Structure 1
Amino acid sequence: MRFVHESRAQRVVFAPGSAPDAVAKEVADLGARRVMLIASERESVLADPIATICPVVLRHDEVVMHVPVEVAERSRAAASRSGADVVVSVGGGSTTGLAKAVALTTGLPIVAVPTTFAGSEATDVWGLTRGETKTTGVEVKVLPCSVVYDATLLRSLPSEMAVASGLNALAHCIDSMWGPRVDPIDQALAGEGIRALAAGLPRVAHGGASLEGIEQTLYGAYLAAIAFASAGSGMHHKICHVLGGMFDLPHAQTHAVVLPHVLAFNVPHAPDAEQRIARGFASDGATEGLAHQELRPATTRRSDAGWA
């Protein structure tokens, strides 16, 4: 066994029902006094309690999917004008992505408060779109220094969006099984991520108010993201980034649709990964072979099993 594994430094706080207090503490511990709060108009109601107890000097709501370059440039300019010394993001992958775009050029630290299962908060990967071309890169300075997970913030997430977002997290686990820098630690994290997602996501699909289901899914999404950050992007994410940037497709739903096709393509050539994936689902596929099972395109519709 010969490999090198590098872990990223990041504080992770699970704070059910107390995100505002947890965020305020993270900001104070950083010694920050001027907060740029990024949240879309849709997420403003979730960001309001945070704004009331944090020293916010700027609220920024221009959040656009795939982070167009011009949107990023306006956000950076706004951060500079405000004199912000920390960025707090409240939202899903697009919101976190915009915070990363700000951090990429300003070096400001990020405190991320996720409201989906996207996992971007746990990676040092950034993405920007110019025209129809999406470019991604890796920079340590875009990794949020703190992440605050509050399951109650995801209670209002529509069921179909929650399922698609959870399948995006599952795609992180799958890609981590055969990414370009994969090691046994990545595979162990991804396997536990699959187990947690398989336990939590059906409960989220059948009723978004299930806090235990949300917490299990958040836990799985976090493990998926840190495994993915270490293992690197495989075929699945490269395909989805190209399609998403070119056709302005919704991120989570695109990952959900592409996932079974990449799985069917790769699994016959990766028997060890197949076994690990099947064990994560506690599936008989560990002996039958996932590659021989019927794989249908994933959708965000509910199924009898809870999600498909």
Structure 2
Amino acid sequence: MDPLKDFTSEPRSFTYVGNPARVIFGPGTIARLPDEVDRLGAKRALILSTPAQQGDAERLADLLGARAVGVFPGAAMHTPVDISDYATDRARSLKADVLVAIGGGSTTGLGKAIALRTDLPQIVLPTTYAGSEMTPILGETSNGQKRTQSSPRILPEVVIYDVELTLGLPAGLSGTSGINAIAHAVEALYARDSNPVIDALAVEAIGALAGALPAIAADPLDLAARSRALYGAWLCGVCLGSVGMALHHKLCHTLGGSFDLPHSETHTIVLPHALAYNAPAIPGAMERLARVLGPDPAAALFRIGRAVGAPAGLKDLGMPEGGIDRAADLALSNPYWNPRPLERPALRDLIARAWDGAEPLSS
């Protein structure tokens, strides 16, 4: 890859802003959690998880000993506002001075929601490849609508990437979580505020995950593949937190919030179709993607989804066929910036193909 290629034909102007976060990466790094709590000057940690990962949260409480003042195992998909409010009251009643979140995007989102309301520092221990731990972005759902906002208060202060925490992630969820991460890097390549630093990280991240995810599907205990995937997911999270997103993320927020669809599976299904829609307007990004995915990147992403055993269509997630037109209308009602103008017939066709599980319509 030639990082100077963009400068050979015409000058390129850009702005790059780095988000401050402390990252600790490697196997066994969970053991450093007590030191990180101390480093923040905290003494009363509230530990967050989903109900399914309550056991993991309680093990962290044992590790922290007297530093842990409680466990809140109520994180839920799409970060419902009522749960965020309830958990915030819990943090205040316990006089917590640091939040420790273990899990995927649901738990990370809950920690961010509490931090936005209280300005408490956050330590995140990811167990999936969601990447949201590296962003100052929060999406919360109320009355069937998912709304996002950004604030420095939302960005976690410390992220501990312990590769061993991902070994228990089921192969299927590993695949969809990893493709969800890839989506962040793909859209970063054609973001309105893209820059050479994020371009380089995005290509590196996509290449790492594209190679690692099929290997994990074949052997979920492959520690080397798990390490590559977590490394790629971290870089994808940096991309997501550094530049704006476009049509793909708008559609996934619309579909997830409106039809209560699972987050990573929705991203996995929609990504190839959203990329194919935008392909004619992003030749530079498609060239970069071809370096790591092959000559037809949208088709390659569709094949990776099949290689990891992910559902092919939104109908497989429970979305009704009658929701196709509603989703198109919602996506057009408050659209994100996108490199290709949003045209309802083409957008509806994109959603219909994603619903049916058809291959992306590449140009």
TM-score (norm. length: structure 1): 0.92
Provide the residue aligned with 2:47 in structure 1.
37
Secondary structure at the counterpart of residue 159 of structure 2: strand
Q: Are the counterparts in 1 of residues 217 and 307 from structure 2 also a CA contact under 8 Å?
A: no
Tell me, yes or no, if structure 1 residue 17 matches structure 2 residue 28.
yes
Q: Distance in 2 between matches of 1:300 and 1:161?
A: 13
Provide the residue aligned with 2:115 in structure 1.
103
Tell me by how many angstroms 1:300 deviates: 6.2
Provide the residue aligned with 1:217 in structure 2.
229
From 53, 58, 66, the counterpart of 1:48: 58
Tell me by how many angstroms 1:222 deviates: 0.9
Letter in 2 for 1:58: G
When residues 200 and 296 of structure 1 are mapped into structure 2, their CA distance, relative to the original with a 3 A threshold, is closer
Tell me, yes or no, if structure 1 residue 143 matches structure 2 residue 137.
no
Q: What percent identity do the matched residue pairs reach? A: 39
Tell me, yes or no, if structure 1 residue 65 matches structure 2 residue 77.
yes
Q: How many residues align?
A: 297
When residues 75 and 295 of structure 1 are mapped into structure 2, their CA distance, relative to the original with a 3 A threshold, is closer
Secondary structure at the counterpart of residue 8 of structure 1: coil
When residues 280 and 302 of structure 1 are mapped into structure 2, their CA distance, relative to the original with a 3 A threshold, is closer
From 143, 149, 164, the counterpart of 1:152: 164
Q: Distance in 1 between matches of 2:306 and 2:101?
A: 26
Secondary structure at the counterpart of residue 139 of structure 2: strand
Q: Residues 148-297 of structure 1: matches in 2 within 5 Å?
A: 148-281=160-293, 283=294, 285=295, 290=297, 296=302
Report which stretch shifted further, 111-120 or 40-49.
Answer: 40-49
Tell me by how many angstroms 1:44 deviates: 2.4
Which stretches of structure 1, 4 residues or longer, exceed 3 Å deviation after superposition?
293-303
Q: Distance in 2 between matches of 1:131 and 1:102?
A: 19
Q: Are the counterparts in 2 of residues 36 and 87 from structure 1 also a CA contact under 8 Å?
A: yes
Letter in 2 for 1:83: K
Q: Are the counterparts in 2 of residues 37 and 58 from structure 1 also a CA contact under 8 Å?
A: yes
Q: Distance in 2 between matches of 1:271 and 1:180?
A: 14
Q: Are the counterparts in 2 of residues 197 and 221 from structure 1 also a CA contact under 8 Å?
A: yes
Cα RMSD, aligned residues only: 1.8
Q: Distance in 1 between matches of 2:55 and 2:120?
A: 25
When residues 300 and 56 of structure 1 are mapped into structure 2, their CA distance, relative to the original with a 3 A threshold, is farther
Structure exhibiting the larger radius of gyration computed from Cα positions = 2
Q: Are the counterparts in 2 of residues 253 and 299 from structure 1 also a CA contact under 8 Å?
A: no
Q: Distance in 2 between matches of 1:102 and 1:73?
A: 8
Q: Distance in 2 between matches of 1:295 and 1:25?
A: 40
Tell me by how many angstroms 1:127 deviates: 1.0
Q: Distance in 2 between matches of 1:5 and 1:11?
A: 19
Letter in 2 for 1:50: L
Report which stretch shifted further, 99-108 or 175-184.
Answer: 175-184
